[in-house]
Amino acid sequence: MISEVVLQVTDQKSVVERNEPELHIIVAATMSAGKSSFLNALLGTEILHSANEATTACVTGILCQGHDNQQFSGICYARNGKELAQCTPISAQTIQLWNADPAVYCIFLYGSSRSIFGLPYSIMLYDTPGPNNCQDRDHAQLMLDAVRSISFGTMFYILNVTGIGTYDDRALLEQLRHELLQKADVSIYFILNKVDVLDPDMGESIEKYVQNSKVYLEGIGFEQPVIIPTMAYAGLCARKALDHAPLTRRNRLELCQALEKPDAEKRALVQATTASGPIRERAMRIFDSLARLSLNNRQDATSSQIYDLQRIVVARAVPLNSESRGDTEEVL
């Protein structure tokens, strides 16, 4: 039911371009793991509402098309597939209202984002509700319905670095492990989010938490898990700054903190990932190249900061490079 409602608009020539998505990715996490912030970082814009509470109540399909127009539009649907409302351009505030409306069953967004993968074809992302919302038990069923009914080839599971091993997280992972046994061709990537809250001076290294996550996931049954440490919100703020988008006070504070971190900490994000060697090596080459450019342009504060911002984007973009080729611009 969910897949039929979310995907039916891709057949409407009047709504989107006729370019069938070649990559379908579902995103799952417990409540407040940073899923919306991660998706916003991928999209390069704060299109999804994010907060330290349940913000996703509906399955949201996001079609990212390969053209230059960055504007996103949105449509919300009832359970019977009836269109309830549409909005162009769509805002995080409108999506928040739609998620709070009990009549809305799912949401469809479409637009473009050059920051995803650097690939020349369309991508479909699916944002799912966190199933551990005690105020709405329907969230768990909606998430399961999405996993069972949507045809996807990739899953991003968001791990909150401060919540590894909690009862809710383990329960969801065990359930997803069971569901994915029926989908042998699905690749799953574990995004270890919010690593910027770790304090290396207190022994909280990124490498240590990646290793702890590996042991935890293997204990649940995920063999040789691919774990990507990231700081999604800082990546989003850097992307906005590079695009000259307005920054909020919180955005500016986040950027200042990220820019003040030693290069070794940013480098650790790339080095600690358990992604395949070629992916990690390519990201490291780009990172080192930007570091040299930043050092060579220290007399030009603006140019130097641009390269520093790009390194933050590269550090959070490691999982996006598995199929992209070419120079730095593809990653950014």
Per-residue pLDDT tens over the stretch 258-303: 777 776 776 777 778 887 667 667 666 655 665 565 555 545 545 5
Q: Nearest 5°: CA angle at 158, between 138 and 273?
A: 165
Residue 331 has what pLDDT? 37
What band does 237 get if pLDDT is binned at 50, 70 and 90? confident
Q: What is the pLDDT of residue 108?
A: 92
* Long-range residue pairs from 327-331, CB within 8 A, at least 24 positions apart, any chain: 328/286, 328/289, 328/290, 329/118, 330/118, 331/118, 331/283, 331/286
- pLDDT tens per residue across span 70-103: 688 999 999 888 899 999 999 999 999 998 899 9
Q: In this predicted structure, what is the pLDDT of residue 5?
A: 55
Check: CB of residue 204 under 8 Å from CB of residue 198.
Answer: yes
Token representation of residue 81 = 């597939």
179: confidence class by pLDDT, cuts 50, 70, 90: very high
Q: Say what the pLDDT of residue 25 is.
A: 92
Which of the listed ranges 51-60, 173-182, 261-270 does the model predict with the highest average pLDDT? 173-182
Q: Which of 185, 212, 195, 206 is nearest to 158 (CA)?
A: 195
Confidence band of 8 (pLDDT split at 50, 70, 90): low
Q: Give the pLDDT confidence score for residue 15 in this predicted structure.
A: 47
- Which domains are assigned to the chain? 2-246 (3.40.50.300)
Report whether pLDDT(328) > 50.
no
User: Helix (H) and strand (E) counts for the chain?
Assistant: 12, 9
Residue 30 has pLDDT above 70, yes or no: yes
Q: Per-residue pLDDT tens for 300-323?
A: 545 555 555 555 555 554 444 444
Neighbours of 63 (CB within 10 A): 25
Q: How far apart (Å, rounded) are the C-alpha atoms in residues 35 and 56?
A: 9
191-224, pLDDT tens digit by residue?
Answer: 999 888 888 888 888 899 999 999 999 999 999 9
> Nearest 5 degrees, angle CA 109-CA 112-CA 113?
110
What pLDDT score does 287 carry?
Answer: 58
